[in-house]
Amino acid sequence: MHRDLCFAPAVELARRLARGELSSLELTTAYLARIEAQNVGLGAFVAVLGERALAQARAADRSLAAGRCLGALHGLPIAIKDLFDFLPGVPNTFGSRVFEGFVPDQTATYVRRLEDAGAVVLGKTNTPEFGHKGVTDNLLFGPTSTPFDLTRNAGGSSGGSAAAVADGLCALAQGSDAGGSIRIPAAHCGVVGFKPSWGRVAAAYRPDGFLHTPALHAGPITRTVADAALMASVMCGPDARDPLCLPDDGLDWAGACALPVDGLVLAFSPDLGGFPVDAAVSDCVARAVSALGDAGLEVRELSPDLGASHHELTELWLREMAVLYAAMAANMKRDGVDLLGAHRDALCPEFVELLERGEALSAVEAKRDDVLRTRVFDGFQDVFGQADVLACPTVAVPPFPNAADGSTLGPSEVAGQPTERSIGWCLTHPVNFSGHPAISVPAGLTPDGLPVGLAIVGRRHDDGRVLAVAAALERVRPWLGNLPGLR
């Protein structure tokens, strides 16, 4: 009974809670029991807030009994990433030994919205140090594994959230995405990861309110497309303290999942214009795209011209992240935490290298990269002049083995071509240069039983159509309960 509850769609659980057929306390207790049973070996949660969650669940039940519904997530147990997704009074480590004892006194905008809508927070989930790579592993907590094979990595940087959702440890989970960090682990864990259009989820970062570049997004990781729409409906919306967020356009998030897709043109790019892709991944993705043709879409093979090789695009992303992290480190140093000074030896070597690279880049060099970003943006826009959505593999390889020392990285080679190991084996980061909405949904399993993700990218601010196409695939090839291999 408890296992059925833990894997049920969040929209179904929300309906049962609203009708009084299920209590939040019962549901929260079931998830906490499953976390206790499954988290060892999986490594999804790094902090479990048991007493806090049970208190929230009891309060949710009392409110409902008094006729007061707090919102769309009333009583639903969720997980929050251990990065910049603060809860006041709750330890937040950024996946770093430097911040092992850090307790913030503020709340992230979107986390506050989730709690205000009635969500029960079960705990914080694992991430690589400061979320700097597409793998979830760190020197503080170790790796997070995909539930399909505990020797292999969940992907990152929201790997803890994706593994928790996939293994039935929460109803919904929050992730963040600067280069694929929602979509990569969704692909490697067989779940749904949605990156809304840039600006839909307000951030209100401080002290740098203009940190909210098109690279940075927050969004849901869920088991179904409808669940992603439910969570997005709460997370999205403007905030007066975010100078770059979008106004509310009135999108009907739940209704978008039922929109017709007959006649829509889908541009299928098997390699996003030049990324090497593993043959087993290519086969899975091709079958999923064929199913979208069966669902009524017109499929055309069409790749964007992104104006650079996959190596150049990955280098562009590394430079952009290096600048952001160097700016973050400068703010921390001003506040008394010198990452590259007193704390250098506590950091993983790849993150030190990224910080040093950012410090060495001049403002002119960083600004010059906007020319290549513009070519990437134009490449996507050209495709959307001919098609309604674009589909491609989310990640070029199936999940790969964890390292033993907290330093897991991706493959150095894909399909016989050398690749950068932190994120070069992903087809996700170009969309972070452009701000387009994108979702990763399960495309199937490799012959070895490992999950593969299909990415669906839409026109700017056309999030509803992205959800509609993803939901259409889910209707013709339902994955919930149909992906063998979960424990």
Residues forming the active site: 81, 157, 181
Q: What are phi and psi of 42, to 5 degrees?
A: -80, -45
Q: Which of 107, 150, 143, 225 is nearest to 477 (CA)?
A: 225
Element (H, E) at 150: strand 149-153
Strands 45-48 and 120-125: antiparallel
Element (H, E) at 479: none
CB 219 within 8 A of CB 184: no
Q: Which residue has the tokens 């007061």?
A: 68
Measure the CA–CA gap between 146 and 19, rounded to whole angstroms: 34
Can you list the positions of beta strands (E) in 49-90?
Answer: 77-81
Measure the CA–CA gap between 255 and 94, rounded to whole angstroms: 36
- Write the CB contacts of 240 (distance below 8 Å, at least 6 apart in sequence): none
Measure the CA–CA gap between 308 and 95, rounded to whole angstroms: 33
Measure the CA–CA gap between 287 and 450, rounded to whole angstroms: 15
3-state secondary structure 337-372: CCCCCCCHHHCCHHHHHHHHHHHHCCHHHHHHHHHH
Strands 265-268 and 217-222: unpaired
Between the two ends of the chain, the Cα-to-Cα distance in Å is: 15
Query: Structure tokens of 124?
Result: 């914080």
Residue 346's Cβ-side half-sphere holds a number of Cα atoms within 13 Å equal to 17
CB 329 within 8 A of CB 355: yes
Measure the CA–CA gap between 154 and 138, rounded to whole angstroms: 13
Compute how many other C-beta atoms are within 10 angstroms of the C-beta atom of residue 480: 16
